[in-house]
Amino acid sequence: MSDAGAGRTVTRHELVAPPGAPRLDLYIAGALELSRTQAATLIANGQVRVAGRSERASYRPSAGERIVVEIPPPAGREVAAESIPLAVLYEDDEVLVVDKPAGMVVHPAPGNWSGTLVNALKGRGGPLSEVGGDEREGIVHRLDKETSGLLLVAKSDRAHRMLGAAMSRREIVRRYAALCWGHLDADRVTVDKPIARDPRDRKRMAIVNTGRAARTDFVRLARFDSVDLLRAHLHTGRTHQIRVHLSTLGHPVVGDDTYGGGGGRRLVPLPSKRHFLHAAWLRFRHPVSGAPVEVRSPLPPELVKALAAVAGADDSFVDIDPLEHFGFFRDTA
């Protein structure tokens, strides 16, 4: 649905209430990763319909009730094109894949109106999909600010819609290299727990029964004295998903100040505000040709240094790719 006057997009969500759902504002806040105030405002403004009717914020949905939420675009603000270098590892007329550095925010938002990936993409020139609106031109999925690695960008609306559908069908394979504190109970662990905003701290995400479904598969590639090197396979794309799932296992990502992994920088030398999480492997079918596309990103130097420190002096990785060395790319399932 479009706001014709502004040329911007209204986002429409269709939800089905689960058994035991909380009051309407809390359910919408958890399901759509909004604050309770934002959810209540949408309800008050008539942008929430429960089985086709308006309800109060305190209404408790019945199991199976269909809830439609329409979120209007934020107040318009022009996103400037900025000359910021980008590492583009794949590009054609429809899509490109960027190797995002740690510390870069993906799209503009309050507090980060410049220096973002979208600013940099606009600075390159050339077409970008407008499906997500001006602040999110071309963005198919996101990476956290301090997570580095591969990010898929759509250059046309057609490509964006098809990639979005493929993402919903879980046909785009995204695998991350992660270092976690301690040791998993097994070499292969799957976490399948719903995620939503932490009701006690809106800046964090948490495991919430009424949250959105989230599944991550973890494979241990190497075990060191105090940490495990993991490959994480995302089946869904919730905010902070890998970080929350590892934290709930009691093995947070090394360097993750938000979810309990921020200490121990003497053992694992990482820069301040940098966690060990890197989107290293991306596989998808081209949205137009259908041809398979595979892109790989090596570990950034600061993560190579940290991994070498925990692996021991004999493994400095000067002449080898540490991800290849530990078999990160071997399992294509």
Q: Which residues are catalytic?
A: 144
The closest alpha carbon to 144, from 113, 103, 109, belongs to 103
Give me the half-sphere count of Cα atoms (radius 13 Å) on the Cβ side of residue 256.
27
166's tokens:
């493929």
Q: How far apart are CA 91 and CA 172, in angstroms?
A: 17
Helix/strand/coil percent split, the chain, to 5: 20, 30, 50
Question: Which H or E element spans position 245?
Answer: helix 241-248
Question: What Rg value do the Cα atoms of the chain yield, rounded?
Answer: 21
Distance of CA 152 to the CA centre of its chain: 11
Distance of CA 130 to the CA centre of its chain: 20
Single-letter residue type at 291 = A
For the chain, counts of helices (H) and of strands (E):
7, 16
24's tokens:
């309407």
Residue 176 DSSP class: E
Residue matched to tokens 């992660």:
178
Maximum pairwise Cα distance, the chain = 67
Q: How far apart are CA 176 and CA 153, in angstroms?
A: 18
